[in-house]
Amino acid sequence: MNDNALVKLRQITQTYRSGRKEFVAIRDVNITVGESEFVALLGPSGCGKSTLLRITTGLQKPTEGRVLYRGRPLDGVNPHATIVFQTFALFPWLTVRQNVEVALKPRGFSPEQRAQRAEELISLVGLDGFETAFPRELSGGMRQKVGFARALAVAPELLCLDEPFSALDVLSAESLRGELLEMWTSGTMPTKAILMVTHSIEEAVFMSDRIVVMDKEPGRVVADVIVDLPHPRDRSSPRFAALVDHAYATLAGQTQPEHVEIGTAPGQPGRTRALPNVPVDVLETLLEYVADLGKPADLFRLTEALHIDSDYVLRLSEAAELLGFATVAQGDIDLTPLGEAFAEARIVARREIFATRLRRLPLIQWLLGLLNAANDRRLEYDVALKALELEFPPDEAERQLDLAIEWGRYAELLQYDDDGEVLYLESDQIGASR
Ligand code: ADP
Ligand code: MG
């Protein structure tokens, strides 16, 4: 049974520390990647995709669980696997050919063999004629191709890709996807299996044979979707759309009971609810769009209508849910009566509705509480940031504070002085937060 399994992850759990709390980043994950399979790992940012790739390739040992490679427990870094990251670090002082040859050095080739092998790989990824160019002379897409060539230089059996196209412009990304699929389907690359992390549903359906869908908090597998479409795939075919829809339905989940949805405040036990990273004006656009539609909107159609990617649509729907403006089920978003009222209101009334909803969020309550307790009701940005760094990793703490300020300003609950970098309460909010 399952004899052609290349790699098996069994009951993988990973915990990390964040500020003073320990949290479970990934819980009980089981994934098998078989020989000749192209598996996509799909999920919202923060669900543990990169962590799982590091664990799969042996760059990181999980807190619990086992990794088996060809049936044997993995011990240390897997020599048969390679990861390509979002942006590949090339040596700026080496040419394209030399950058590829670097990866061949430890493998005992003669200098002539190395040069020839590098030539072949450069040609394989479509960079003929650029052998002697330096990285600074290349576009982002071409640099990423060099990255692929270097990853393939070691002839990995298992090629792991961590959002390899997401740092590229639309055209370069599309052309590189094509090159990779061409190499993969024609069998010109030595690779036996591909495990590709992505947060784009369309990319997963376009490229892979199977999609392992993850959700976050804690990171876990929620679905395993077979993509049985022949290559090359037609994004406009009904089968393609149906598979994308199906993936949305598993990913966007269901609206949770209110107390679960909003989480707890910083410093309290339980999960501190992070604010979804979306600007208020884009949220307004989404709600207006759905209100105009007059019926539940298909999340996949929204990515097309609003020209945004699936990750963004999911964050927007999460924000709409958190604020009680919408519910999400089976891949559709539907406005609540409050959401409709918001979408139809004028700006002043909108701000009031938004403020009422915002005041319920523990993170906002906490911030307003801090401001009320502060001298002059003023708080330096850095002080608030330090406090949040006890809850979130530094980058996330900053993002959360910026979002709280942006949303709070829109709702006219608080003000922010950009020059002095101080937050302060709107005068009519003093004492109102408790
Ligand atoms: P993804 O790739 O799906 O965005 P990651 O694997 O990068 O997710 O991260 C999953 C969660 O674990 C996130 O909340 C992230 O902040 C956290 N995390 C990742 N690496 C570390 C680390 N080395 N220390 C602490 N927290 C981490
Ligand atoms: Mg990642």
User: Which pLDDT tens digit goes with each residue over 103-130?
Assistant: 888 777 888 999 999 999 898 888 999 9
What pLDDT does 200 receive? Answer: 85
Instruction: Label residue 308 left, alpha or beta by phi (over 0 means left) and psi (-120 to 50 means alpha).
Output: beta
Q: Which residue has the higher pLDDT, 83 or 106?
A: 83
Residue 277 has pLDDT above 90, yes or no: yes
Residue 22 lies in a domain: yes
Cα pseudo-dihedral 179, 182, 187, 192, rounded to 10: 60
Residue 133 has pLDDT above 90, yes or no: yes
Q: In terms of domains, do 73 and 111 share one?
A: yes
Residue 424 lies in a domain: no
Q: What is the pLDDT of residues 312-364, one digit of tens each?
A: 999 999 999 999 999 988 888 999 989 999 999 888 889 999 998 999 898 99
Q: Which residue has the higher pLDDT, 28 or 428?
A: 28
Tokens 């591909």 sit on residue: 194
Of all protein residues, whose CA lies closest to atom 16 belonging to ligand 1?
Answer: 46
Residue 2 has pLDDT above 60, yes or no: no
Q: In terms of residue numbers, what domain contains 285? A: 276-356
Residue 401 lies in a domain: no
Q: In terms of domains, do 35 and 182 share one?
A: yes
Residue 240 has pLDDT above 80, yes or no: yes
Domain boundary among 323, 356, 389: 356
Q: In terms of domains, do 246 and 287 share one?
A: no
Q: In terms of domains, do 131 and 196 share one?
A: yes
Q: Is the peptide bond before 230 cis (omega within 30 degrees of 0)?
A: no
Q: Which residue has the higher pLDDT, 264 or 434?
A: 264
How many folded domains does the chain comprise?
A: 2
Q: In terms of domains, do 79 and 133 share one?
A: yes
pLDDT band at residue 391 using 50, 70 and 90 as cut-offs: confident
Domain boundary among 356, 381, 400: 356
Domain boundary among 235, 251, 267: 251
The answer to whether 328 and 255 are in contact (CB under 8 A) is: yes
The answer to whether 118 and 153 are in contact (CB under 8 A) is: yes
Pocket test for ligand 1, best of 12, 26, 42, 51 (most atoms within 8 A of CB): 51
Ligand approaching nearest to the C-alpha of 46: 1
Residue 402 lies in a domain: no
pLDDT band at residue 191 using 50, 70 and 90 as cut-offs: very high
Q: In terms of domains, do 235 and 285 share one?
A: no
Residue 46 CA to ligand 1 centre (angstroms): 6
**Can you give the CATH number for the domain in which 337 is found?**
1.10.10.10
What's the mean pLDDT when you consider all of the chain? 89
d(CA 335, CA 244): 22
Q: In terms of domains, do 84 and 172 share one?
A: yes
- Range with lowest mean pLDDT among 147-151, 224-228, 257-261, 367-371: 257-261
Residue 415 lies in a domain: no
pTM recorded for the entire structure: 0.73
Ligand approaching nearest to the C-alpha of 51: 1
Q: In terms of domains, do 237 and 119 share one?
A: yes
Q: Which residues of 94-128 are buried (b: 16+ CB within 10 A; e: fewer)?
A: ebbbbbbbbbbeeeebeeeebbebbeebbebbbbe
Q: Which residue has the higher pLDDT, 87 or 156?
A: 156
Q: In terms of domains, do 215 and 290 share one?
A: no
